[in-house]
Structure 1
Amino acid sequence: MSRIAPAVPPYEPAIAEALQRIMPPGMEPLALFRTMARSPRIFTKMFAGGLLDKGPLSLRQREIVIDRTTARLGAEYEWGVHVALFATKVGFGEAEIAATVTGPTDAACWSAEEQALFAMVDDLVDRRTIADGTWMALSAHFDEPQILEAIALAGYYHTISFLCRGLDLPLEAWSARFPP
């Protein structure tokens, strides 16, 4: 059980509309979203700052940053939701999924540009900065808007990871689990 009970229907109109817009048809809103709905201000701000729309990174690149960030921060809830909903869409097999959690930044299953994204996330998580070598690798593969997007994604999902872990959210029944 979450430390704050998720909101239950009927939701206030603005929240109900947002939940309907962001959730796939027939899928119950995520526990994270329903818990955030207990504070309409936080709910609104969270979605106003979301980065799941089409940005300068590909869907695969975006998911690499999100999955690695949430895995490195131990947020199995958010990692599992993203893996369940997006891994197949972005072409992740079992090796790639496992590598988002336990693999080194230079795992053979990733291209050089993907390895640069992994290194960026690991630098930010471990040192709260980006090492010069990592910056050089990022700059070799990505333009400034893409790099800014990647840093913002890592920061946003750092916050999401804190929410998931701080609230002790129970895992969604259908979501992926960290590999053993």
Structure 2
Amino acid sequence: MSPRNAPRNAPRIAPAQAPYPPAVARTLDQLKTPGDQPLSLFRTLARDARLFARFTGAGLLDPGHLNLREREIVIHRTCALNRCGYEWGVHATIFADAAGLDAEQLAATAAPGIAACWGPREALLIGFCDAVHASADLDDGLWARLAEAFSEEACIELMLLAGFYRTVSLLANGLRLEMEGFAAPPPWA
């Protein structure tokens, strides 16, 4: 069967298998997750060492201008808006507890509108995600609210984070990556 005629749930490109090139192997060793192997997203990108290096070098999971909870709200909402169950489930499993996101809040990242479970700053993040998803832009009113709540550097990081996880969503959805065995199912599944 050609890739064009592959079933919707079959990966379009098979992940690379060990042994990996040395630079790829070193990076994969640093990206440990609960599964037996590195994430299939990482292993698929590892088919090309250049693309893999560019992708893994652009990550925003390090301590930055946002706290873990803020970062994860933006990642979950962005992935939910793009119906990327693969990445939503990985983050729900690996980061939600540490970020203090309970089951209601996780479900709210995928629900339309701004749920009552969010505080004002969190609701602002949800509104930010919805706006950039809808128009790849921020109106002046939203920008003013963000600038009042977050530093300029944090505002830049928010835009980078939403854009990066839109790219991750495109990769995971477009490549038809199978859910990781350890990952939580998304609320819309």
What range describes the TM-score normalised by the shorter chain of this pair? Answer: over 0.9
Structure 2 unaligned segments of length 5 or more: list them.
1-9
Q: Is the 8 A contact 2:35 2:181 kept in 1?
A: no
2:67 is equivalent to residue 58 of structure 1? yes
In 1, distance between residues paired with 2:63 and 2:104?
Answer: 26
Q: Which one of the candidate residues 3, 22, 30 is aligned to 2:31?
A: 22
In 2, distance between residues paired with 1:32 and 1:5?
Answer: 10
**Matching residue's letter, 2:105:** E
In 2, distance between residues paired with 1:53 and 1:21?
Answer: 13
Per-residue CA distance 1:136-179 (angstroms, 9 max, x = gap): 22122101011110110000111111100110101111101121
**1:72-91 to 2 correspondences below 5 Å:** 72-91=81-100
RMSD in angstroms over aligned alpha carbons?
1.3
State the match for 1:95 in structure 2: 104
Output the TM-score relative to the length of structure 2: 0.90
Structure 2 vs 1, CA of residues 25 and 178 (structure 1 numbering), >3 Å: closer, same or farther? closer
> Shift of residue 24 of structure 1?
4.2
Structure 1 unaligned segments of length 5 or more: list them.
none
Structure 2 vs 1, CA of residues 156 and 26 (structure 1 numbering), >3 Å: closer, same or farther? closer
In 1, distance between residues paired with 2:143 and 2:113?
Answer: 17
> Shift of residue 78 of structure 1?
0.5
Q: Which one of the candidate residues 44, 52, 55 is aligned to 1:43?
A: 52
> Shift of residue 16 of structure 1?
0.6
Q: Which one of the candidate residues 45, 67, 71 is aligned to 2:76?
A: 67
2:140 is equivalent to residue 132 of structure 1? yes
In 1, distance between residues paired with 2:133 and 2:63?
Answer: 25
Structure 2 vs 1, CA of residues 26 and 97 (structure 1 numbering), >3 Å: closer, same or farther? closer
> Shift of residue 26 of structure 1?
7.1
Q: Is the 8 A contact 2:33 2:39 kept in 1?
A: no
State the match for 2:3 in structure 1: none
| Aligned pairs, number | 179
**Matching residue's letter, 2:104:** A
**Matching residue's letter, 2:91:** H
SS of the residue 2:180 aligns to? coil
In 2, distance between residues paired with 1:28 and 1:170?
Answer: 14
Output the TM-score relative to the length of structure 1: 0.95
Q: Which one of the candidate residues 149, 162, 175 is aligned to 1:167?
A: 175
Task: Answer with 132-141 or 51-60: which moved more.
Answer: 132-141
In 1, distance between residues paired with 2:161 and 2:49?
Answer: 23
State the match for 1:8 in structure 2: 17
Runs of 4+ in 1 over 2 A off after TM superposition: 24-27
**Matching residue's letter, 1:64:** I
